[in-house]
Amino acid sequence: MFWSVVLISIGLYIGLVIILMVFQAHFIYFPQREITVTPGEIGLSYEAVYFAAADGVKLSGWFVPAERSRAVILFCHGNAGNISHRLESIQVFHRLGLSTFIFDYRGYGQSEGKPTEQGTYLDAEAAWSYLIQKKQVDPTRIIIFGRSLGGVIAAWLAHVHTPKVLIIESTFTSIRDIAADLYPYLPVRLLSRFDYSAMDYLRQVNCPVLIVHSRNDEIISFSHGRRLFEAAHEPKEFLEITGTHNEGFMTSARHYEGGLDFFISKHVGK
């Protein structure tokens, strides 16, 4: 009886390992195709934007202008949903006098293809190029912003190009680190085919950096935010907020907006 239980347990464990090896992407990306609401429906004017990544994949996004805009936010969103699930953040940026360019990675919303790590980097690169070439935005007026998985992509983009500032919110140090936190009973560091190392990219970023994280984040531990802050070069600042992983910026509304405004005013201008 004992050995039967042992063999069944070993079999189940091996099965979990195989599932993790084969279906890794399904543990990382949770895209939704349907655009449920637009900025126009909350009173913001916007432009639907379509552009292509270097490998030819067609992408979509929104450009939401702010009157007398002091800078443009290039918004790299998280791993679930699509751009229509980020209107609360777009409203925050609009109140701060910032135009927003938010785009969907391949496989999300109206963007073609299916998500991959290198694909998301190509998509961010294409979004940057669109702002520079099509919108004629000076790099010194671009703020790269990334939340959760988008924070890693934002850090990657900021180590390739130099924006005015980089803001990373609720982001993990690397995909292997967060996987080890979430699945401590599996050899995820050895099995992972993904890198997504914000730490490595952040060490090569040469612009002011703001790290935002909540002690109440139930998905990505507060320690990830602190380690990212330690890895970043000066000038850098840390904004501690409260609330859950997905709602911290809303829970901490006034403190959050005030912290962003202070950092942006200091490095970009009022």
Per-residue pLDDT of the chain (270 residues; tens, 9 = 90+): 655 655 555 656 565 656 666 666 777 999 999 999 999 999 999 999 999 999 999 999 999 999 989 999 999 999 999 999 999 999 999 999 999 999 999 999 999 999 999 999 999 999 999 999 999 999 999 999 999 999 999 999 999 999 999 999 999 999 999 988 877 777 677 777 889 999 999 999 999 999 999 999 999 999 999 999 999 999 999 999 999 999 999 999 999 999 999 999 999 987
* Parent domain of 204: 2-267
Q: What spatial distance separates the first Cα and last Cα of the chain, rounded to whole Å?
A: 72
Task: List C-alpha distances in Å: 16 to 7, 12, 113, 114, 191.
Answer: 14, 6, 28, 24, 12
By annotation, the residues acting in catalysis are: 148, 217, 245
Both structure tokens of 111: 């963007």
Prediction pTM value: 0.92
**Phi then psi dihedrals of residue 69, to 5 deg:** -60, 135
Q: How far apart are CA 205 and CA 208, in angstroms?
A: 8
CATH value at residue 107? 3.40.50.1820
**Phi then psi dihedrals of residue 241, to 5 deg:** -120, 180
| Number of structural domains in the chain | 1
